Amino acid sequence: MRVEQIAVFLENKSGRLAEITAILADNDINIRALSVADTADFGILRLIVNDVEKAKSILQDGGFTVGKTDVLAVEVVDKTGGLAKVLKCLHSAGINVEYMYAFVNKSGENAVLIFRFEKMDEAIEVLSKDGFTLLSGEQICAL
Amino acid sequence: MYWEQKKECLPRPQLEQLQLERLKNTLRRVGTTVPFYRNTFSKLKVDAGKVKSLDDLRRLPFTTKQDLRENYPYGLFAIPLRDVVRIHSSSGTTGMATVVGYSRKDIVNWSNLVARILCGAGVTADDMIQIAFGYGLFTGGFGLHYGAERLGASVIPISAGNTKRQIQIMQDFKTTALVCTPSYALKMADVMMDMGINPNGLSLRFGLFGAEPWSEAMRIEINERLGIRATDNYGLSEIMGPGVAGECQECNGLHVNEDHFLIEILDPETLEPVKPGEVGELIITTLTKEAFPVIRYRTRDLTRLLPEPCPCGRTFVRMHRMMGRSDDMLIIKGVNVFPTQIEGILFDIEGTEPHYRLIVERENNEDKLTVMVEVVESIFFDAMKKQRAFMDMIKKRMASELGIGVDVKLVEERTLERFDGKGDRVIDKREL
Ligand SMILES: [Zn+2]
């Protein structure tokens, strides 16, 4: 139940993020979720999109450095309490979160938490065992 | 494989004795027959007859490219012109050419030393050698040609240029060894692709490359694309041409033909010897040249010695492939830094030819070096912690290998201009 995510290296120059979203829009690629981690010097943009391969290749053609990683998407009903429950489950299993971000689906009822772990397989096992809903890439795009 | 095992494996004490005798002989000759050396020796109160050890070399004057130019054309020749059988010349860019001459015996020695290099690289009398160096005043073509004939190999003296014809001949004549510059070898690989010729279908096994700086990354690419074993060889026309040094089949540094050349590695600023294994400028004194002996020639080429004995058994010292020009050297916080050192570290880390730029600034009277590195996919991480750890790792390695702290700035791919010359990769903003 892994979801593919693309990551893009960004220098902190203004307008780069807008450029990326424009390139993706021009090529009919939908961004389902997005997060930016940045420091004073550079940033890392992470995206969940409906067509990973196409997005990667058009961004590479556009001169960007693009990587591809697997992440997990956990669906929870109530945003705040939901997150706490997931984190508690992971913590008691001794699984560290490398990074995470979230988005709310169109109806606003459910939230989707995107996680990256060092130990992906263990995380899948622990979360499934505790009854959390893991979404596939297709399911996210269908939301 | 040795061409002259006894000489190439001479125990160091005997080798040094031989070098000393030959040095004294050379000094005696230039001190009497070459006005330039006679004058500088007397100015510096050097008595060639009183040289007692190889260390005394350090009291002798240097010879520079400028000295060669000022004595254009025949001022530094040590024998009468009637005894000179060959002239070569290196073309200066602005008509500042230098001229070198060879006696009959010089040509014999030269051929023999090039035969050593070829043999050390694995080439034998059974090989078919295609020499794609220019023939003419440049020493590359004729130097390799005479050495290959001396070895007994079959020579195809095709000279430089016309790449398609080179490849056609390589295919038809079943060339087994290619002699050219490393960049030309890569060009040949490109043209082969265009022509639809698979290099693996050719008979090519060896590549002997020289006459320009190159890198380990280039060697790997050439080996893979042409299916050969590439070795490096070094020489310069002011000293002799090819044949000064070459790699054995270990492909790990160039053995210097020390029975004919005495080398020193000096700090380009202080002109004092560097510590063993440290980078410095290569200085060469010829020990057997008759027509054009040179004392302590400043090559401006940077290298370092590899002091460990070579598994091949040769006792001749090895030097690292040329690491740049001393003119490119930066002095940062009083420490000598060579752009090629930084390139080497990045290559090690990235595994491919790095794209980088060096910015040198002075802030509050302190030098600051920033290394800008393009982030390619192999060094890009989706987790910030990992990306930062990677940056710190570069900083640590640079600090430990260069001896100064550096700043590392990661930049987007293809944002640094592509340069051919290494010197252009440095932006020195200090106003000194
Ligand atoms: Zn060796």
Query: CATH number for the domain including A26?
Result: 3.30.2130.10
Name the residue ranges covered by the structural domains of chain B: 5-327, 335-428
Structure tokens at B212: 């320009």
Same domain, A49 and A83: no
Best mutation target among B371, B382, B414 (most A Cβ atoms within 10 Å) is B382
**Smallest Cα distance from B415 to chain A, Å:** 9
d(CA B126, CA B72): 42
* Domain that includes residue A107, residue range: 71-142
pLDDT score at A78 = 67
Contacts of B190 (CB under 8 A, 6+ apart): none
| A108 and A85 in a common domain | yes
Q: Where do the DSSP E strands lie in B181-223?
A: 206-209
What mean pLDDT is predicted for residues A70-87?
A: 86
Q: Which of A39, A41, A44 sits opposite B382 (nearest CB)?
A: A44
Q: Label residue B290 by pLDDT band (50, 70, 90).
A: very high
Average pLDDT of the segment spanning B142-157: 98
Say what the ipTM of the complex is: 0.90
Q: From CA B273, how far away is CA B239, in angstroms rounded?
A: 21
Residue B344 Cα, gap to closest chain A Cα (Å): 22
Do the Cβ atoms of B126 and B177 come closer than 8 Å?
Answer: no
**Amino acid present at A89:** C
Instruction: Give chain A's mean pLDDT.
Output: 90
Q: Is residue B147 a contact partner of residue B243, using CB atoms and an 8 Å limit? A: yes
- Name the domain count of chain A: 2
The answer on A100 and A41 residing in a single domain is no
Same domain, A131 and A83: yes
Contacts B411 to A, Cβ<8 Å: 11
Look at residues A18, A38, A69 and tell me which one is the last residue of a structural domain.
A69
Residues A78 and A132 in one domain: yes
From the list A9, A69, A116, the residue facing B412 with the nearest CB is A9
Mean pLDDT calculated for residue range B137-160:
96
For domain B335-428, the CATH architecture is 2-Layer Sandwich (3.30)
- In percent, the amount of chain B with pLDDT more than 70 equals 97
Per-residue tokens: B340: 């090629």
Question: Among the three residues A54, A69, A84, which one is the final residue of a domain in this structure?
Answer: A69
Task: Supply the CATH number for residue A129's domain.
Answer: 3.30.70.260
- Examine the domain organization and report whether A138 and A75 are in the same domain: yes
- Rounded Cα distance, B425 and A40, in Å: 25
pTM reported for the whole predicted model: 0.77
> Does the B5-327 domain belong in CATH 3.30.70.1350?
no
Q: Which of A108-112, B20-24, B156-160, B375-379 has the lowest mean pLDDT?
A: A108-112
